[in-house]
Amino acid sequence: MSDSFESLGIDPGIMRSIEEMGFTEPTPVQLAAIPLIAQGRDVIAQAQTGTGKTAAFAIPILQKIRHGMKPSALVLVPTRELAIQVSEETKKLGGHLDVKTIPVYGGQAISVQFEALKKGVDIVSGTPGRVIDHIKRRTLDLSGIRFLVLDEADRMLDMGFIEDIEYIIRQIPKDRNTYLFSATIPEGVRRLGADHMKNPEMVIISEEELVLPSTKQIYFKVGRKNKIWALCRVLDKEKPKAIVFCSTKRMVDILEQRLKSYGYPAEALHGDLSQAQRERVLTDFRKGKVKVLIATDVAARGLDIEDVTLVINYDIPESPEWYVHRIGRTGRAGKEGKAITFVSSDEEHLLEGIKGFGGAGIEQADVPTTGEKDVVRKVWDFDEYVDIFGMVKFRIDMGKMDKVGMNDIVELIRNRGDVSEIAIGHVELGEKSSEFEVHKDVAYKVMKSLDQSDFRGRRIRVDPMPRRSAG
Ligand code: ADP
Ligand code: MG
C-alpha cells in the first residue's frame, strides 16, 4: 500500500482513469513529485525517458483545478507532436473530471484553436511560438495561470527558446507554481530555473543512470559510404519497429528515397513537412502501418510511441544529451529496447562524450550478417583509412627479401596504377612486406590495379591498413 497510487491521496475520478489506463503502481518520479506538487511546492524533476513524467505533473495539477473560463495551467513543450501527446495523456487522466484540455501548436489553423479557447479551457499544452501568437492576438489569456510546466525543460531553456519562454512567463502572474521536467537537467538549467521559481524542490531519480538498463546499447564502426548497407542489414535482421535519426532534414529525405527504392517501407518526419503530413506519418507509425520512421531530432524528445523496438543513430547525435533523448524512444514504460549508433571515423570524437554521459553501457559490435544476399553491397570507403593529410596506407607483400627496392614499389604504383608521383606518399621497405601511402582519391585505383596482379612471376597482395586511431 505504501507505494501505491492510493497512498498518494489521488482523487477518485483520476484513480478511475489510472485504472483504465492500466497503471498498477506509480513510477519513482510520480511517487516523489506528486506529493510535492500537491503540497504547493515548485519542483525540478529529472528522471529517465519513458518513466511517466507526464502523469507526474498532470495528476497533481488535475487535482488542483476546477473548470473555469480562463486556463489555469500551461504546459510548454518543444515540438508540435509533444503538444498533442501531452494534451492526449492529460485528457485521459482527467477523463472523469470536469476539466478541459487543448493543444495549441503551429501548423494547425489558429482559428480552430481560437474557437476551442473561446469555449473555455483549463489546461493548455503548447509550443512557445504558437502560444506567443495567441497572446499577441489576445486569443489566449494567461492571467489565470496558476501552474506552469516546462516539459523537456533543458530544451525549453536552450538558446533560441529562452527569449520566447521569458516573454511567456512575463504574461503569467507571479503567484503561480512552476515545474521543470526532463530526462537531462544540466547545471545551467537549474540556475536559470532558479530565476523563475520559488525555492524549488529537486527530484533527482537517476543522475547516475540516465538510460534504463532494459535498453541495450551498441555501436558499429562504419564508414559514411557504408551506413546505408549497415542499415539495410539491421532492418533485414531485426525486422524492427524503428526510428532512424539523421542530423539534417536533407539526409532524412535522401535516406527515405533510398530505402524506398530498395523496397523498405519507410517514412520521413522533419520540420519542413506540412503539419498534416507530420501528423499522418506519426499516426501511421504509431499504428504500425509504417515500420521505419526516419527523422531529425524533432522526434528525439518526449515522443511516446508504443513498441519501438529499435532506435538507430544513422548520424551520431551532436551531444550526449541528445543521445539520451533519442534512444529514450525505445525501452519505454518497462519494455525492452535496443539502440544502435553508426560511428564513422569523423564521428569518433563524439562517441567518447556519449560514453561519459548516458552511454556508459554502450558496446562495440559488428554489422550483422543476414545469410541472404545484400540488396545494398558494401563498398570500399577509404575515408575510413585516411590520415589527416588524406593519405591511405597500404601493405604490399614484398620487401627486401624479394630483392625489391623503394623505387621498384614507386614505379609499380606509378605505372600500373597510372598515378602521378605527387599522389604517392611515404614508402617504407620491410623484409617480407612493405608499406606505402597514396592519396585517397587514387586509393581505389591503386588497389584495384595492384592487388592480385602478377609481379616477377608471382601474384601480389595489397591491403589497406586501418588508420592509427587518434586516441
Ligand atoms: P516520460 O515523459 O518520462 O518520457 P511519459 O510520460 O511519456 O514518459 O510516459 C511513458 C509511458 O508510460 C506512457 O505511455 C504512459 O502512459 C505510461 N505510464 C505513465 N505512468 C505509468 C505507470 N505508473 N504505470 C505504467 N505506465 C505508465
Ligand atoms: Mg515526457
| Each residue's pLDDT tens digit, 135-164 | 999 999 999 999 999 999 999 988 788 999
Q: Between residues 468 and 425, which one has the greater pLDDT?
A: 425
Atom of ligand 1 nearest to the CA of 30: 23
Q: For strand 177-182 and strand 147-151, is the pairing parallel, antiparallel, or unpaired?
A: parallel
Place 469 in a pLDDT band, splitting at 50, 70 and 90: low
**C-alpha count within 13 angstroms, C-beta hemisphere, residue 268:** 21
Atom of ligand 1 nearest to the CA of 26: 23
pLDDT value for 468: 61
| pLDDT more than 70, % of the chain | 99
DSSP 386: B
Q: Decide if pLDDT at 359 tops 80.
A: no
CATH of 382-464, one of 3.40.50.300, 2.160.10.10, 3.30.70.330, 3.40.50.1100: 3.30.70.330
pLDDT value for 288: 94
Place 2 in a pLDDT band, splitting at 50, 70 and 90: low
3-state secondary structure at position 79: coil
Atom of ligand 1 nearest to the CA of 333: 12
Task: Please report which helix (H) or strand (E) contains residue 396, including its range.
Answer: strand 391-396
Q: Enumerate residues lining ligand 1, CB below 6 A.
A: 23, 26-27, 30, 49-55, 302, 304, 332-333
pLDDT value for 211: 81
pLDDT value for 1: 46
| Each residue's pLDDT tens digit, 294-346 | 999 999 999 999 999 999 999 999 999 999 999 999 988 788 999 999 999 88
Which residue in 31, 120, 135 sits closest to 71, CA to CA?
Answer: 120
pLDDT value for 213: 81
CATH of 215-364, one of 3.30.230.10, 3.20.20.70, 3.40.50.300, 3.40.1440.60: 3.40.50.300
d(CA 63, CA 66) in angstroms, rounded, equals: 8
| Each residue's pLDDT tens digit, 420-448 | 888 999 999 999 999 999 999 999 999 99
Which residues touch 95 (CB under 8 Å, ≥6 apart)? 16, 17, 20
Give me the mean pLDDT over the 218-245 stretch.
95
CATH code, 6-205: 3.40.50.300
Residues with CB under 5 A from ligand 2 (ion): 53, 302
d(CA 466, CA 394) in angstroms, rounded, equals: 9
Of 72-76, 109-113, 199-203, 406-410, highest mean pLDDT: 72-76
Give me the mean pLDDT over the 280-305 stretch.
95
* Cα 303 to ligand 2 centroid, rounded to whole Å: 7
pLDDT value for 274: 94
Q: Between residues 1 and 187, which one has the greater pLDDT?
A: 187
- Domain locations in the chain? 6-205, 215-364, 382-464
Residue environment code for 283-301, b if the CB has 16+ CB neighbours within 10 A, otherwise e: eebbeeebbbbbbbbbbbb
Q: Between residues 211 and 95, which one has the greater pLDDT?
A: 95
Mean pLDDT value across the chain: 92
Q: Decide if pLDDT at 372 tops 80.
A: no
Task: Please report which helix (H) or strand (E) contains residue 203, including its range.
Answer: strand 201-204
d(CA 290, CA 284) in angstroms, rounded, equals: 6
Task: Please report, as a single letter, which amino acid is at residue 245.
Answer: F
Return the best residue to mutate from 304, 305, 324, 329 for the ligand 1 pocket (most ligand atoms within 8 A of CB): 304
pLDDT value for 73: 98
Of 17-31, 199-213, 280-294, 380-394, give the lowest mean pLDDT range: 199-213
| Each residue's pLDDT tens digit, 172-221 | 999 999 999 999 988 888 887 778 899 999 999 976 778 888 899 999 99
pLDDT value for 471: 38
* Cα 54 to ligand 2 centroid, rounded to whole Å: 5
> Do the domains 215-364 and 6-205 match in fold?
yes
Q: Decide if pLDDT at 239 tops 60.
A: yes
pLDDT value for 15: 96
